[in-house]
Amino acid sequence: MNSYHLSSHSSGVGIHDILHALKRRRVMVISLSIIGILLAALLHFSRKPVYASDAKLLVRYVLERGAVDPYEARQNPGAAKADQVIQTEIEILTSMDLALDVVRDVGVENISPGLEGERDIEKAAAVLLSHLKVVVGQSNNVLLVKYSHGDPAVTKEVLHKLMDAYFQKHLLIHRSAAAFDIIANQTKEVKQKLSQTEEKLNKLRTESGITSLGEATGTLANQRASTNEELIKVRAEYAEQQAKIESLRKKPSGGSGSAAGPNGPSDPASGITPAVLAEYRVNLEMLDFLRKRDIELRIKFRPGNRLLELNRSQIGQCESKRQALVAAYPMLAAGVKDDSDNPLWSQSLEQARLAAYAAKIKVFENHLKEISTQFSEQYGIGSRIEELERQRQMEDAEYRNLEANLKNARVDQTLDPSRMPNITIVQQPTEPFRYYDERENKIIMGLAGGGMSLGLGLALLMELLLDKRVRRPDDIERRLSIPLMSCIPNQRGQDRGHLLAYGGTPLLGNDDGSGDSGGPDYGNARSFILPYTETIRDRVIFDFDANRITHKPKLIAVTSLCSGSGTSTIAAGLAKSFSEIPGAKVLWVDLSTFDPDEDRKSDGAKWPLNRALRMAASPSFAHNERSLFHASGDTEEGTDARGINAVQFSRMLPELQDSPYDYIIFEMPAVEKSGRTLTMAALMDKVILVLDAENTVKDMLVWTYSELTKGKADVSCVFNKANSDVPSWLCAN
């Protein structure tokens, strides 16, 4: 059985594939290359020379809005990065506006003879820019300006005009010579805005008494912190006083004292009760506390502050209450002695102190509320002040900047563009020199190489991608993984040698099997195919030995994928090669056609197959000196042009297997999906599939090999009419 199996095809492309494709399509490659070279030569000899002129500019730095004097130039050298400066100047030199100015000065018809008038001025400017080249020189701050034209006089004139227009454009873009009125108006508007902002800011500060946001909130924040501390302290004293009163209430009352009144014991001389005295003392303590706080607030706040007014209002209330008590009890002004031994008297005094602490807490809480209210109001005022201050600073900076620009603009009005120190003409426009356009040179080179490139590309595309035929033996083994037994080169007519002819009499001899023909013997003929068929014979014998096929006769089928593949020639040569084995009897059976090709077969008669088998069964067959016998695919019972079919062949198979032949070689028709070859091939010991180098399609080959192997046929391929597409030294492995 065949040990080869179909596997995934290799798609790699090697040097042999490329050389094969180039050789097959060499006519197309050479033709396209010649066409490309001819077109390049035609363009080369038909083109016209152009004239170019060069100029060089040194760009040291760029002053944006500045008076051009040595002092200011030293103050702001290199204001922008060198690369940015150079790129900006290149954009100016290649701008459409600059080109339009030059075209108006030189004339549209001079730039492009086919154009004229204002209607074509933009087209002429585009033509000018297409021939203008501005690049950075060897030094990073030097610009090389090159212009080319067919007329040398126009070339130099355009470059001179371009330099003059460039200086004007540079001054217009980077300086303020053309913007004096605009800057003056802007300066006036900004100054007016600045005055209005300052007026609003001063008015707000005057009305609020606040100069800044920090001042507005800082004092109140400190006062709030101080008031919170005092409030915490008074609340602690209030709690302590409550505890003290609670302790006095728990002591038993007793001891001597004055007579008790409705509000406790009273002074017999003045009638002042402890409650009145406690109220009076609380009032005095509050007056003292509020007056001290008034001093603190006056230190921190200006007159008119709401905290000051609130504190003074509370002072007035306490003073009025004190005066009312003194008017009701005159002795309070002289002082009243405490009855410290009387518990009720002491308790009344402690109650008075508790009330004083409560009053202080209320004062502090009111002050905190007032501070919060003022904080909110003054924060808004301070924020507005800060906003106006920032606006004033921005407007002031803008005003100062515009003032400087206005000063520089006055100088720029009288500035001579040609005397700018930051840009210098290093090289004036040179005399025009003759040369050929670089783009035309590239086109010529492209045409010269394009034809060859196109030819190579088409050749590789057609051979490697579009052409599905098998062209080389390497395609069979490496790409399709199909076993290849031998490769037969394509021979020219003068190299083919003698035909495989054997005279004009039948090879099978007479009816008695003597085989005496009396004509030229087939064994004396020699053909180019015999060395290759001998190799095929040796490989077939080796396969038989390897697969342990020892029975006789051994059935060998020779077929192909299409007609004209050389099946008959190879079958005849293979039969001749097997007949040269000493003692071997070979039968060559032609099942392919009944119209022999005189170029490939004998012109002698062929016996039908059943008669050939009957003759081989005669007693004299073993003593016949002839070793090669030839039979046709028909039978004596019928002359069907289609020959023996698969059913008839299977019926004759026992008779074939019992025949005394050593080898029976069947020349079978080409493989077809509806043909008999696929069925009969499964009955053979060996199938040799002949592949034509010009007409074998890869998909058909894969399908045929797959179908043959499905029928358990031992298939090997012979590649016929192979062309040597690469030099022998590249084929050496």
Share of the chain above pLDDT 70, in %: 71
Cis (ω within 30 of 0) for the bond into 553?
yes
- Looking at every residue in the chain, the average pLDDT score rounds to 74
Domain boundary among 392, 408, 424: 408
Q: Are residues 540 and 664 in the same domain?
A: yes
The mean per-residue pLDDT over the stretch 69-96 comes to 67
Domain boundary among 408, 426, 452: 408
Q: How far apart are the first and last CA of the chain?
A: 29
Distance between CA 277 and CA 356 in Å, rounded?
Answer: 13
Is the per-residue pLDDT at 484 higher than 80? yes
10 Å Cβ neighbour count for 50?
Answer: 20
Q: Are residues 495 and 631 in the same domain?
A: yes
Q: Closest by alpha carbon to 179, among 18, 357, 348, 413?
A: 413
Q: Residue 516 is part of which domain span?
A: 473-724
10 Å Cβ neighbour count for 165?
Answer: 21
**pLDDT attached to residue 508:** 42
Distance between CA 459 and CA 443 in Å, rounded?
Answer: 23
Q: Are residues 402 and 428 in the same domain?
A: no
Collect all residues with Cβ–Cβ distance below 8 Å to 412 and sequence separation of at least 6: 65, 67, 68, 171, 175, 176, 177, 180
Does residue 117 contact residue 108 with C-beta atoms inside 8 Å? Answer: yes
* 15: its two tokens: 């040097």
**Higher-confidence position of 597 and 546:** 546
What beta strand segments (E) does 167-259 contain?
Answer: none
* 257: its two tokens: 């004292």
Is the per-residue pLDDT at 329 higher than 60? yes
H helix intervals, 47-95 = 70-75, 82-93
**pLDDT attached to residue 583:** 85
Relative to beta strand 50-59, strand 433-435 is: antiparallel
Distance between CA 287 and CA 569 in Å, rounded?
Answer: 144
The mean per-residue pLDDT over the stretch 278-297 comes to 76
pTM: 0.45
Q: Are residues 134 and 283 in the same domain?
A: no
The mean per-residue pLDDT over the stretch 447-474 comes to 80
The mean per-residue pLDDT over the stretch 661-678 comes to 87
The mean per-residue pLDDT over the stretch 580-598 comes to 74
Q: Are residues 404 and 419 in the same domain?
A: no
The mean per-residue pLDDT over the stretch 580-590 comes to 88
Determine, yes or no, domain membership for 391: yes
Q: Are residues 423 and 401 in the same domain?
A: no
**pLDDT attached to residue 557:** 92
Distances (CA, A) of 106 to 91, 101, 145, 153: 21, 9, 18, 11
Determine, yes or no, domain membership for 207: no
H helix intervals, 250-342 = 274-300, 306-328, 331-334
Query: Domains in the chain: how many in total?
Result: 3
**pLDDT attached to residue 578:** 92
Determine, yes or no, domain membership for 93: yes
Does residue 690 contact residue 469 with C-beta atoms inside 8 Å? Answer: no
**pLDDT attached to residue 322:** 77
Instruction: Give the least confident one: 262-271, 322-331, 608-617, 624-633.
Output: 262-271
Distance between CA 502 and CA 603 in Å, rounded?
Answer: 8
**pLDDT attached to residue 687:** 92
**pLDDT attached to residue 419:** 59
pLDDT tens for 280-289 read: 777 777 777 7
Does residue 290 contact residue 318 with C-beta atoms inside 8 Å? Answer: yes
Q: Are residues 579 and 691 in the same domain?
A: yes
Q: Closest by alpha carbon to 298, among 315, 283, 282?
A: 315
Determine, yes or no, domain membership for 512: yes
Q: Are residues 351 and 492 in the same domain?
A: no
Q: Are residues 335 and 424 in the same domain?
A: no
* 160: its two tokens: 């001179």
Does residue 378 contact residue 216 with C-beta atoms inside 8 Å? Answer: yes
Burial class (CB in 10 A: 0-12, 13-18, 19+), 539: middle
Rg of the chain over all Cα atoms, to the nearest angstrom: 62
Determine, yes or no, domain membership for 324: yes
**pLDDT attached to residue 38:** 92
Instruction: Give the least confident one: 179-183, 298-302, 577-581, 586-590.
Output: 179-183
Does residue 537 contact residue 485 with C-beta atoms inside 8 Å? Answer: no
Q: Are residues 665 and 516 in the same domain?
A: yes
Relative to beta strand 686-692, strand 554-560 is: parallel
**Higher-confidence position of 578 and 391:** 578
pLDDT tens for 493-544 read: 555 554 454 433 334 444 444 444 333 344 444 567 888 898 999 999 999 9
Domain with residue 505: its CATH number is 3.40.50.300
Does residue 336 contact residue 272 with C-beta atoms inside 8 Å? Answer: yes
Domain with residue 72: its CATH number is 3.30.1890
Distances (CA, A) of 417 to 166, 413, 480: 9, 10, 79
Determine, yes or no, domain membership for 711: yes
Does residue 128 contact residue 68 with C-beta atoms inside 8 Å? Answer: no
**What residue type is assigned to position 550 of the chain?**
T
**pLDDT attached to residue 13:** 67
Q: Are residues 145 and 220 in the same domain?
A: no
The mean per-residue pLDDT over the stretch 674-703 comes to 85
Determine, yes or no, domain membership for 532: yes
**pLDDT attached to residue 598:** 38
Does residue 579 contact residue 477 with C-beta atoms inside 8 Å? Answer: no
The mean per-residue pLDDT over the stretch 15-33 comes to 80
**Higher-confidence position of 723 and 568:** 568
The mean per-residue pLDDT over the stretch 678-683 comes to 86
**Higher-confidence position of 712 and 212:** 712
**pLDDT attached to residue 732:** 44
**pLDDT attached to residue 540:** 92
Tokens 């800044």 label which residue? 212
Share of the chain above pLDDT 90, in %: 5
Query: What is the CA 235 to chain-centroid distance, rounded?
Result: 74
Tokens 């209320």 label which residue? 362
pLDDT tens for 44-76 read: 888 888 888 888 888 876 655 544 343 344 444
Q: Closest by alpha carbon to 645, among 665, 671, 675?
A: 675
Is the per-residue pLDDT at 556 higher than 90? yes
**pLDDT attached to residue 431:** 87
The mean per-residue pLDDT over the stretch 240-265 comes to 56
pLDDT interval class at 681 (50, 70, 90): confident
**Higher-confidence position of 651 and 241:** 651
Is the per-residue pLDDT at 558 higher than 90? yes
**Higher-confidence position of 725 and 601:** 725
**Higher-confidence position of 177 and 12:** 12
Is the per-residue pLDDT at 610 higher than 80? no
Is the per-residue pLDDT at 422 higher than 80? no
**Higher-confidence position of 329 and 732:** 329
Determine, yes or no, domain membership for 297: yes
Q: Are residues 517 and 660 in the same domain?
A: yes
pLDDT tens for 337-356 read: 555 555 555 666 666 677 77
**pLDDT attached to residue 665:** 92
